[in-house]
Amino acid sequence: MKKFLRMAYHLFVPSEQNNYRAKTLHVDFLTYYLVLALFLSFVYKAAALSNLGSKVLGIATNISVEKLFQLTNEERIKNRLNSLTYNEKLARAASEKAKDMFAKNYWAHYAPDQTTPWDFILSSGYKYEYAGENLAKDFMFSDGVVSAWMDSKTHRENILRPNYDEVGFGVVNGVLNGEETTLVVQMFGKPLLKTVATDQETTAVNTKPTTAPITKQTNLIPQVLARENTKTPLINVKNISYDYSLLIFGMLVLALISDLYFAYKLKIVRITGKHFAHFIFIGFVFIALIVLTKGVIL
């Protein structure tokens, strides 16, 4: 314990042993952080290149169908609504929709060839009375997805619509517009009663998504890849990069605060970079890091 304290003191408190500057702020220490960041960047690129099919090294988000399902139902229960049951057909439709977005390189409710979300639901064998769809991409965490939907009036209305009984999710990784991303498709439904099932197409109501479709067709790239995010790799480089970034920024801020405070307390006069400027810089880069975990919804 004493050894650990001595080490922490050496790393964070300016003293004679560390030339009156917290060791974690020394140029050699900053170089170690940089080398590690470069190494991680290299590993990340290697993982992205050999990602498909790799069970050991890969890039995946922390978005899971179980968590999305749980959070959606929590929101409904909070609003005194019935909880939804998970439907495999809706899940298949959601996955097919996500794969279609990767294959045709679009990000919209309606495909460029005018395929509607309802086409995916119907082709999965699900006959509905009511149906709805929410989309999300680029998120890192499940709770970020659901809270972004809840913050948007139209998506919130979709989640809290009393007409729905069932839900299905598709979480698929792939390359969209040349960038590796994770698409989340949430499909709601209320099954059509068997007595009127034969006349399904004509009796279907609410066949429009609550969110207005925005077609954003961009250049088609020749190589389009998609895979379901059902198995996360053993070493998830994206998670490691994110955690490492948080750790480094946290450590730098801690070292800057401690160094500045003790230098003032011990009346140490020295010429160094401006701590306050470093705070502003690191603080805003930290905010950018948070922004990165939030994706976009449609």
Partner 1 sequence: MIIFNKFLKHLLKEVQKHIFQYLLLLTGAIFFILLFSLFKENHHAQFSILTLFVIFYICWGLIHHFLEKTLHLKIVIEYILIGAIALFLLQTLLIH
Site membership for partner 1, residue 123 (CB under 8 A) = no
Q: Which stretch binds partner 1 (CB under 8 A): 76-84, 146-154, 199-207, 276-284?
A: 276-284
Site membership for partner 1, residue 106 (CB under 8 A) = no
Phi, psi of 173, deg, nearest 5: -95, 150
Which of 31, 82, 123, 217 touches partner 1 (CB under 8 A)? Answer: 31
From residue 203, alpha-carbon distances to 6, 112, 133, 164, 198 in Å are: 75, 26, 19, 16, 10
Site membership for partner 1, residue 33 (CB under 8 A) = yes
Distance CA 161, CA 84 (A): 11
Distance CA 137, CA 35 (A): 31
Of 152 and 241, the one with the shorter C-beta distance to partner 1 is 241
Site membership for partner 1, residue 44 (CB under 8 A) = yes
Which of 1, 56, 269, 271 touches partner 1 (CB under 8 A)? Answer: 271
What value does the CA radius of gyration of the chain take, rounded to a whole number of Å? Answer: 25
Distance CA 170, CA 185 (A): 5
Q: How many C-beta atoms surround the C-beta of residue 65 within 10 A? A: 21
| Per-residue contact flags (x/-) with partner 1 for residues 236 to 255, judged by CB under 8 A | --x--xx-xx--xx--x---
Site for partner 1 in 180-239 (CB under 8 A): 180, 238
Extract the runs of DSSP E, i.e. beta strands, from 142-178. 166-176
Site membership for partner 1, residue 277 (CB under 8 A) = yes
Of 20 and 44, the one with the shorter C-beta distance to partner 1 is 44
In 3D, which of 276, 270, 283 has the Cα closest to residue 256? 276
Q: Which residues bind partner 1 (CB under 8 A)?
A: 25, 27, 30-31, 33-34, 37-38, 40-41, 44-45, 48, 59, 138, 179-180, 238, 241-242, 244-245, 248-249, 252, 260-261, 264-265, 271-274, 276-278, 280-285, 287-289, 291-292, 294-296
